[in-house]
Amino acid sequence: MSTHTVRHKSRSHPKPVRRSTDLLKYIQDVGQVTAAALLGTTMIASAVVAGGLVGLAISFRNLPDVRVLRNYVPSETSYIYDINGTLLYSLHDEANREVVDINEISPHLKRAVLAVEDSYFYSHSGINPSSVGRAVLANFQAGTTVEGGSTITMQLVKNLFLTPERTISRKVAEAVLALRLEQIFSKEEILEMYLNQVYWGHNNYGVETAAQSYFNKSAKDLTLPEAAMMAGLIQAPEDYSPFNNYEQTKQRQLIVLNRMRQLGWITTEEEATAKAAPLLVGEIKSFRSSIAPYVTEATVLELKERFGNDAVVKGGMRVQTTIDLGLQRTAEEVVQRHHARISRMADQMALVAIDPRTHFVKAMVGGVSYEQSQFNRATQAIRQPGSAFKPFVYYVAFATGRYSPDSSIADTPVSYPDGYKYYSPKNYDGSFMGNISIRTALEVSRNVPAVKLGQAVGVNQIIEVCRTLGIKSPMQAVTSLPLGAVDLTPMEMAGAYATFANNGWHSNPTFIVQVADSSGNVLLDNTPNPQLVLDPWAAAALTDVLQGVIVRGTGKSAQIGRPAAGKTGTTDSQRDVWFVGYVPQLATAVWVGNDNYAPLRAGATGGTYAAPIWRDFMQQALVNVPVEGFKRPSEFVRP
């Protein structure tokens, strides 16, 4: 037998193996060591696998219950419309989504999505191991990704319940949840949830908002070429978006169409026709601004006060506002034009128009430019109304039954204790007219008679009537209150005057007609329910006098060729000028001033600056509105 040597790592000379029995023993020893090592390794591996299975089993017990999807309502975009159904604004949280029924989705789109995402959707039970191999083969043959490995059910549970991390445990959890989901929901229900949940790019979640954004149409109206394009977006929506790369979009579309033809879901002719059809894409709508921002911001604020923030930004509300967009455009144009005329004196204006019969806000302009300032002067700016406050005083006087428009009042000097001094009201021109009728006193806006009437009827009673009319701004029972020594908003003034116009019938002014959810269930119905809060005779008597303000008083520049009532307002320092007036169908308040409270200029009055704006707006707003007169005081019983 030849001698063999065993080499060691040491550099020493090799040692001969003397006998064959030694070699056998050596082999046996080595075998025992190896067997022991293998046994130990197997035991360790078994323990690891067993531990892993136990861990997975424990983790599976903590997986979410897919049955919660029976009551799952995904966040949806809310839409705000004008009174005629014109979209003004859409608002949403992170996801811009509109949920639709599976039957409201184009069959072309359903087939296109299934072709590239899960062509065996209707034959598997949530997971389909062989689909991974088919996807790999299909993608290899196409040279690009044409079919995903995960089923649609797995994609859905991943989006709804799991994190995007790529781990084995997450994939196993995904498979388990998919199996559970398929046991509870039908294929149609799963596909509906998927198509409403999936991300389509540019903040479009769900097929409906995507169809509206990409093609300006509903998902049910998508054609085959449009459906194939959208299906091709799912894997990388922004990368394949036609807004970013039209050529790549078309390439993806061709892949989808080819896959549909391979599956026999479309013919060769349909494929060729769809490939040749141009894609007339729309525009990105998720981030569009409101076309009437002052209005929609006020509407959203009213909604949130009633329903809360989450319901508004996630609840898929359909909000019909009271706003007439045509009238709103008229109001904005009038404010812009008149501001250009007097911008050197006044940097801001506000306008509010309310229907007295419903107290619906028909138009509102909160400032000259929303882009430059989002502060809403119609609802947030509290400014002194000056003599525009006097009608509240005269109404209270008439409501006592002791005064009428023809009652006499002394326009003579008077003083009232005011702490350690006396308050002596003055008229605008510094003169006194002696005994005059209440009608004349209001028509030419005399200050002294208004203060005297306030003292006669009680300042607290005036405040109480203002509260009845919906005015919530703070008021102090000071002697000068009848001259407008209080800060109010144009909205408050317009709403109160609207009640005068409606002979004492009042509703709370609102921007909202109705609110429904995305299924059409009515959440809020603001059908007017006016309450009689004023004495009708006193309201009619006041309107009768206020007509004289326009015919022969301080408001002559507000004449519009039809019966109208109103009142000018000017503060002593000319910081604020107003005109608030009405016809039976529309009450409008106009305010002009500076944000920094700087005076306009000497001699500026509501009659010279605000009344022409009111006249311009009202003439345009009432073009197609029949001329209607006011009810006379004689039609009511005097208190």
Q: What 3 state SS string does 118-179 have?
A: CCCCCCCCCCCHHHHHHHHHHHHHHCCCCCCCCCHHHHHHHHHHCCCCCCHHHHHHHHHHHH
**Whole-number pLDDT of residue 476:** 95
Catalytic residue among 78, 131, 387, 404: 387
- The overall average pLDDT reported for the chain is 87
Residue 72 has a pLDDT of 74
Q: Which amino acid is at 42?
A: T
Full-model pTM? 0.79
* pLDDT tier, 217 (very low <50, low <70, confident <90, very high otherwise): very high
What single-letter amino acid sits at 303? L
User: What digits encode the pLDDT tens for the residues 45-64?
Assistant: 333 333 443 444 444 556 77
pLDDT at 79 (0 to 100): 94
Q: Taking residues 269-280, what's their average pLDDT?
A: 93
Please name the residue that has the structure tokens 């001699």. Answer: 603
Angstrom CA distances, 150 to 118, 130, 135, 293, stand at: 7, 11, 9, 44
Confidence (pLDDT) at 131: 63
Give per-residue pLDDT as tens, 405-437: 999 999 999 999 887 889 999 999 999 999 999
pLDDT digits (tens, 9 = 90+) for 33-46: 333 433 343 343 33
Q: Find the range with the poorest average confidence among 181-185, 337-341, 380-384.
A: 181-185
474 vs 63: CA distance, rounded Å = 56
Active-site option among 76, 90, 106, 117: 117
Q: What percentage of the chain has pLDDT greater than the value 70?
A: 85
pLDDT in tens, 73-96: 788 999 999 999 999 999 888 788
pLDDT at position 602: 84
Tell me which amino acid residue 280 is.
Answer: L
Query: Does the structure show a pLDDT above 50 at 154?
Result: yes
Q: How many CB atoms lie within 10 A of CB 160?
A: 18
Rounded Cα distance, 482 and 311, in Å: 43
Residue of 601 and 443 predicted with greater confidence: 443
Give the residue from 249, 219, 491 showing the smallest Cα distance to 359.
491
Greater confidence, 136 or 366?
Answer: 366
628 is a catalytic site residue? no
pLDDT for the residue 149? 65
Among the listed residues 202, 257, 196, the one whose alpha carbon sits nearest the alpha carbon of residue 225: 257
**Separation between Cα atoms, residue 246 and residue 248, nearest integer Å:** 6
Q: Is 39 exposed, middle or buried (0-12, 13-18, 19+ CB in 10 A)?
A: exposed
pLDDT at 78: 94
pLDDT digits (tens, 9 = 90+) for 231-244: 999 999 989 999 88
pLDDT grade, residue 637 (50/70/90)? very high
C-beta separation of 436 from 411 below 8 A:
yes
In whole angstroms, how far apart are CA 443 and each of 450, 536, 547? 12, 21, 8
Using one digit for the tens of pLDDT, what is the confidence trace for 167-181? 666 677 778 888 888
Question: Is there a catalytic annotation at residue 387?
Answer: yes
Q: State mean pLDDT over 333-355.
A: 96
Pairwise CA distance, residues 397 & 457, whole Å: 6
Among 284-293, 422-431, 509-518, name the one with the lowest average pLDDT: 284-293
